[in-house]
Chains A and B, each alone.
Chain A
Amino acid sequence: MNRRPVFLITVLCFGFAFFYIPILSMIVYSFNASRLATVWGGFSTKWYVSLMSNRQVIEALMLSLKIALVSATIATILGTMTGITLARFGKFRGRMLFTGLVTAPLIMPEVITGISSLIFFILMADWIGWPGSRGFTTITLAHITFSMVFVSTIVQARMLQADRAIEEAAMDLGSRPWQVLFDVTLPVISPAILSGWLLAFTISLDDVVITSFTTGPGATTLPLLIWSKVKLGVTPDINALATLMVLTVGMGVVVAGIVMNRAEARRRADERMAYRSND
């Protein structure tokens, strides 16, 4: 029974190799002393040093973080409002159409979203003189429009799961609907809101297509910078930058995993406690 099928193990190894060998080779070559990306010239950390002193990279990183932070936060607020409305508004004329309109951007090709955002900004500039130039504001607005859809989808799913009676109970105990929202609804769905924010943040941080349509002179985000640098050939400092990003993301995943494991262990302990105190 303990002999696992050879075929399955092979497939598993291939899968992992396919996925991780490129990343591993990138990490290895980020420590390459040679200028040539594909020729090993000994171990060195000089690309990391040069990265830290590269103003262009630091500025691009700061801009990306700023856009991701602002767009994720606004998208979370708007997306949460949409999600709650869709889940709680009950039946109304055109509800199906409305739900469809909200989820359509999920499957819309990014190029289309990018182009339509660009055309919209150009038209707006013609009509009301705003936005005068494209950059931080236009990128952020474009990111909000497509990432809020993810938030609203997550929130809506969580709302449909939640026990409606909890909100009714709060209302029954004297709270007006807006108080119920802040006292009960939002705290109950807060994990969904948090994961929506994280998703919106990640999507914004690594977006190339929509950003490239809505950016302007002087506003280069990190993915755009990497993209434009790679067009001139892969250099070891890009490897170093990418390695740092992998490290950051990896650490994020590990920390999230530990936190979730702890929460699970605590929940189990709580359940044991409840069982013991059963009367």
Chain B
Amino acid sequence: MAAPAEPFLRIEGVSKRFGSFQAVRDVTLDVAKGEIFSLLGGSGCGKTTLLRMLAGFEEPSAGRIFLDGRDMAGVPPWNRPVHMMFQSYALFPHMTVERNVAYGLKHEPMSRSAKAERVREMLELVQLTPFAARKPHQISGGQRQRVALARALARQPKLLLLDEPLAALDKKLREHTQFELMSIQQRTGVTFIVVTHDQEEAMTLSDRIAVMDKGEVRQVGTPNEVYEFPNNRFVAGFIGSINTFEATVIAREGGALRLAVPAFGAEVLARDVPGVSPGQAVTMALRPEKAGISRTRPETVNAFEGTVKDLAYFGKDSLYRITLPSGTLVQAHAVNARRGAEVADWDDAVWLGFEPESVLVLAE
């Protein structure tokens, strides 16, 4: 997916320092209208600071933010068509669910009946109509999350900011809520910016993801792009698990790269990537699920012998740790498609096979 044609939200060279600490460093991002865009990164990567700058709680030290063509510099939070769903939900404890949802409409030039109608609509959207008269401490965590969502959506913001929207929910509720969030986003058409540290959450929710580290955006792309085609070692390692090996480019031949990989004690054929030249030291990366395990030599171009050192059985799949003759460990995931037909056991000699297409070459 290409970058959006007309950016709805444009973040242009935005930086933020707190004293001597650089929280956000020269971030430039375009977000299209109606997109679910995630800021993904570990704690302290600057994602929350960036979100707070969009909400207007912090002013950028440098750079500008445009929303729908309007420069947001100096616009206070109460004048921004941007609403936020806080990680703690930040519901008003002394107000009922209904009054919480109605709070944002207080300042809207609408008739009383129109406001009541909007509140009713919002409560219906998040299926909380029966709980309208309850106080926040009288409802469950999942319901609180939905009140926070309804409250933030009631004023029909141009942009909805969600700070770790699912972090406070237990695992089962999280999956359900994830799909609910997506369906509400589709029904309302509001642009969502989601801050999360959970890569799975970002992958399932988002149209596009910006992976952040130490205040910088390291890669922007669709979930598929950042997973299958990470353009640096950080993104490759942060999203999913991955095997990485030191390698040297030997030659470029017929749309593929020939790599010398000491860990394999042999040459590996990899998908060609631009920007590398023979003789260059690179990182070769391989996702565990892309490495196949078999008892006989596979038909793939890259095939290596090894021994099963460890195996973890998860039920639907198993994770194997294969020792190569060089002593290097390689992780490989195998789906247990047939009952009782697991590929190998401890200390078995096996073959490891993978296609050149599956091998990532990271220049950085």
Q: Write out, one digit per residue, whether chain B residues 221-245 have a CB within 8 A of any chain A CB (1) or not (0).
A: 0000000000000000000000000
Instruction: Answer yes or no: A188 CB below 8 A from chain B CBs.
Output: yes
* Contact B88–A165 (Cβ < 8 Å): yes
Choice from B104, B138, B142 contacting A273 with Cβ under 8 Å: B138
Q: Say yes or no: A173-B104 contact (C-beta < 8 A), given A165-B86, A271-B137.
A: yes
* Contact B140–A279 (Cβ < 8 Å): yes
Instruction: Answer yes or no: A129 CB below 8 A from chain B CBs.
Output: no
Interface window among B77-85, B182-190, B295-303: B77-85
Query: CA separation between A79 and B97, bound complex, in Å?
Result: 32
Instruction: Answer yes or no: B219 CB below 8 A from chain A CBs.
Output: no
* Contact B137–A173 (Cβ < 8 Å): no
* Contact A168–B86 (Cβ < 8 Å): yes
Instruction: Answer yes or no: A8 CB below 8 A from chain B CBs.
Output: no
* Contact B107–A174 (Cβ < 8 Å): yes
* Contact B86–A169 (Cβ < 8 Å): yes
Instruction: Answer yes or no: A170 CB below 8 A from chain B CBs.
Output: yes
Q: Which of B127-144 contact A (CB under 8 A)?
A: 131, 135, 137-143
Residue of A nearest to B137 (CB): A270
Instruction: Answer yes or no: B166 CB below 8 A from chain A CBs.
Output: no
Query: CA separation between A242 and B215, bound complex, in Å?
Result: 68
Could you tell me the distance in whole angstroms from the C-beta of B322 to the nearest C-beta in chain A?
44
* Contact A171–B77 (Cβ < 8 Å): yes
Residue of B nearest to A187 (CB): B94
Q: Write out, one digit per residue, whether chain B residues 194-230 have a CB within 8 A of any chain A CB (1) or not (0).
A: 0000000000000000000000000000000000000
* Contact A274–B139 (Cβ < 8 Å): yes
Query: For the complex, would chain A's binding face be called helix, strand, loop or mixed by DSSP majority?
Result: helix
Q: Write out, one digit per residue, whether chain A residues 182-199 have a CB within 8 A of any chain B CB (1) or not (0).
A: 011001101000000000
* Contact A278–B140 (Cβ < 8 Å): yes
Choice from A166, A176, A267, A279 contacting B143 with Cβ under 8 Å: A279
Instruction: Answer yes or no: B66 CB below 8 A from chain A CBs.
Output: no
Choice from B57, B131, B137, B142 contacting A168 with Cβ under 8 Å: B57
Query: CA separation between A176 and B87, bound complex, in Å?
Result: 22
Q: Which of A144-191 contact B (CB under 8 A)?
A: 163, 165-166, 168-176, 183-184, 187-188, 190
* Contact A188–B93 (Cβ < 8 Å): yes
Instruction: Answer yes or no: A7 CB below 8 A from chain B CBs.
Output: no
Interface centre among B76, B86, B141 (most CB of A within 10 A): B86
Query: CA separation between A170 and B86, bound complex, in Å?
Result: 11
Instruction: Answer yes or no: A277 CB below 8 A from chain B CBs.
Output: yes
Chain A residues contacting B79 (CB-CB under 8 Å) are 174
Choice from B56, B106, B108, B139 contacting A277 with Cβ under 8 Å: B139
* Contact B107–A175 (Cβ < 8 Å): yes
Choice from A174, A267, A274, A279 contacting B78 with Cβ under 8 Å: A174
Residue of A nearest to B84 (CB): A172
Q: Which of A228-279 contact B (CB under 8 A)?
A: 267, 270-271, 273-275, 277-279
* Contact A165–B142 (Cβ < 8 Å): no
Residue of A nearest to B146 (CB): A279
Residue of A nearest to B131 (CB): A277
Residue of B nearest to A278 (CB): B140
Query: CA separation between A176 and B80, bound complex, in Å?
Result: 12
Query: CA separation between A169 and B56, bound complex, in Å?
Result: 12
Chain B residues contacting A275 (CB-CB under 8 Å) are 140
Residue of A nearest to B144 (CB): A274
Instruction: Answer yes or no: B55 CB below 8 A from chain A CBs.
Output: yes
Residue of A nearest to B108 (CB): A174
Residue of B nearest to A279 (CB): B142
* Contact A168–B90 (Cβ < 8 Å): yes
* Contact A174–B140 (Cβ < 8 Å): no
Query: CA separation between A271 and B136, bound complex, in Å?
Result: 11
Query: CA separation between A235 and B235, bound complex, in Å?
Result: 86
Chain B residues contacting A166 (CB-CB under 8 Å) are 90-93
Chain A residues contacting B139 (CB-CB under 8 Å) are 274, 277
Could you tell me the distance in whole angstroms from the C-beta of A144 to the nearest C-beta in chain B?
28
Choice from B94, B142, B151 contacting A173 with Cβ under 8 Å: B151
* Contact A175–B106 (Cβ < 8 Å): yes
* Contact A174–B94 (Cβ < 8 Å): no
Chain A residues contacting B135 (CB-CB under 8 Å) are 270
Choice from B57, B90, B106 contacting A174 with Cβ under 8 Å: B106
* Contact A267–B104 (Cβ < 8 Å): no
Residue of A nearest to B94 (CB): A187
Query: CA separation between A275 and B84, bound complex, in Å?
Result: 27
Choice from A173, A271, A273, A277 contacting B103 with Cβ under 8 Å: A173
Chain B residues contacting A165 (CB-CB under 8 Å) are 86-88, 90
Instruction: Answer yes or no: B155 CB below 8 A from chain A CBs.
Output: yes
Chain B residues contacting A277 (CB-CB under 8 Å) are 131, 139-140, 143
Interface pairs (9), CB distance under 8 Å: A168-B55, A168-B77, A173-B103, A174-B104, A174-B107, A175-B78, A184-B92, A270-B135, A279-B140
A positions within 8 Å CB-CB of B: 163, 165-166, 168-176, 183-184, 187-188, 190, 267, 270-271, 273-275, 277-279
What 3 A-B pairs are tightest by C-beta distance, nearest first? Answer: A173-B104, A165-B90, A169-B90
B positions within 8 Å CB-CB of A: 55-57, 76-79, 82-84, 86-88, 90-94, 103-104, 106-108, 131, 135, 137-143, 151-152, 155
